[in-house]
Structure formats: C-alpha cells, structure tokens
Structure 1
Amino acid sequence: MAEETQLVVFKLKTGDVVCEYGVPITKVQEIIPMATPTRLPQVPDFVEGIINLRGKIIPIIDLKKRFAMSASEVTSESRSVVVEVDGQTVGIIVDEVSEVLRLSNDSIEPPPAVIGGITAEYLTGVGKLDDRLLILLDMDKVFNDSEKAELLKVGA
C-alpha cells in the first residue's frame, strides 16, 4: 500500500484564477473564522496584524501578499489557518478552506522551478488529484530567516 500524506487544502483567489494549496495536517493547529487583526506599525507588508487566540498573541499573515498576489478580500468564506512555522504559531489568511484529504505519495510530483511567482524552495511538490493540481507548501520555508525574525518580534 502506498504511503499517504494528509493535507489541509485551501484556496487563494486572484480575479477568476483559483489556486489550490495544501499543507500537511501536522503543521495545522486549527482553522478559525477571520478575526479583524490589530494593525502594527513597521512590520512587513504581508503581516496584517495580531490577534489574541485564547490568550496567545499570534501574527496574522496575508499569504497572497507574501506570494506577491493581490491582497486578500475578507469574505464569509475567508479563514485563518493557524499553522506552525519553525516552532512559532502564525495565522495565515486564506480565501477558503476546502477540505482535508489524503493524497498518495505516488500522486505527488517534484515542483517545477517556478509556479506563479512562488519559487520552488517553498514547495514540497505538486499533488495530482483527478483533474486538480494542489500546490504543496513547506510552511517552514515560506518565510526567509529575516522575515521569521520579524514574525518572532510581532508574536512576542
């Protein structure tokens, strides 16, 4: 039996283009409705602010801004996916969380050099699921070292 990876699948939309991304469920702590973050001065552009998640202050990241896409518009479908990035808890804004699924490792291809502005260093692969392609993200590599240091200051 082929090994499987369990993924949380979410969508980022730009105009009529919808891209589906997946992160390993082991990196996801929870999925929460979008709360309005408290803005902070002098933080990277993709940091929308901070929220209080049951007594813990966490930074909220607009993943679309991080990937040089248009800024997220918050809708009733928008969610914050609370993930762990190198041991730090961070909320990422996504347009919609669509499902949790198991994907056979045989269905995962190595990433191409560049996908829509996202360099391959962030990617663990591309999952093939029927007529869909899932871009699989490595959350520990989505931010460079200086950005991670900034996030640590924000969440401190």
Structure 2
Amino acid sequence: MQHASTTPWDENGQLEVLTFDIGDERLAIEAVNIREILDLLPETWVPGAPPLVASVVNFRGKIIPIADLRVAFGMPTDSDAAVQTDHRIVVIETELDGEPLQIGLRADKVHEVAILDRADSCEPPVLGMRWRREFVRELVRNPQHVIVIPNLPTIFSTLAEAA
C-alpha cells in the first residue's frame, strides 16, 4: 500500500497545529479543525458502541461523541485511572463519509498551538511502527518529541466499518 501524504502544508511548508498528549505520545491536529477545548464533562456510555467511540457528552445542548485514540493506536486504556486536572476534551471537526462531524478527543494534556515545518516531517516507516501505518499521516521531529499527526478520517472510517 502506497502512503501518500494528505497533510495540508501551506505554501511555506508549514502547518499550524494544536499539540496534545495521549499517554507518552505527542499528537497534533490542524488548528483549523479545532472547535473547542473543554474540561472533562460527565460522559454517557452508549451500549453496543465501538470501543473507539463508546460515550457521548452533552455540551451546550449538542451531543458530541467522545473518541479514545488509545483504542486506535493499541495503547492501554486508562478507563479506571484517576482523572487528572490536565485531562481535556479537544473537540474537532472532521469528515466521515463526506459528512462534517464534530467529535471530542480525550487528551491527557493539551499543550500549545505550534507551527510545524515540513522539512522536519516524514511519512511513517513501513517497518518499526507499533501502530497501523494508515492511521498516521506524518511524523514530525522536534527537539523533545516525535509528533504524530494522526489520519483521523481513516481511523474513524476504518473502525466504524469494523463495528
């Protein structure tokens, strides 16, 4: 399977992102897709829902599904772990089957809006990845971390089809 970058780098080879942590991993989502950053809200578990999106929250009268990217990346879920003061819900807008969708991503810690440079990025390697390669659009090196830019439409559509 050929991996083609779908990361929307601008004409200067830069991308404005929000960085956040899930476990020990640093992820980034394009800033234009961010709608809200919320403190944790009471979640309603949806019987029979897939583990990736097993709950919803009510925010300002709108029902927002909550995704746990740990499931997609095969990371241990900490459903029994104590909620930390840094935990947040990052509400994004993406497309699923051509339809706009708002979804909340659980984050252990939200960092900053940052500018990434394409010169520091690379496609995910064919070997040596512990995650499904098609779930990662780009890896970006910075002095402290390798930042993962997840391929959210692929994650959501693949896991929705499997449900």
Same fold (TM over 0.5): yes
Deviations along 1:14-45, one digit per CA (max 9) or x if unpaired, are: xxxx1111111122111111112111111112
Q: Distance in 2 between matches of 1:24 and 1:125?
A: 12
**TM-score in terms of structure 1 length:** 0.83
The residue type equivalent to 1:66 in the other structure is A
Deviations along 1:47-83, one digit per CA (max 9) or x if unpaired, are: 2311112121111111112322111333111111111
Deviations along 1:66-122, one digit per CA (max 9) or x if unpaired, are: 322111333111111111231111111111112210011111111113665321212
- The reply on whether 1:89 has 2:102 as its aligned counterpart is yes
- The reply on whether 1:11 has 2:21 as its aligned counterpart is yes
Among 111, 118, 122, the residue aligned to 2:135: 122
Stretches of structure 2 lacking an aligned partner (at least 5 in a row) = 1-10
Among 30, 37, 42, the residue aligned to 2:36: 30
Aligned to 2:54: 48
Stretches of structure 1 lacking an aligned partner (at least 5 in a row) = 151-156
| Identity %, equivalent residues | 24
**TM-score in terms of structure 2 length:** 0.79
Aligned to 2:114: 101
Instruction: Name the Cα RMSD after superposition.
Output: 2.2
Determine if contact 1:23/1:138 at 8 Å carries over to the other structure. no
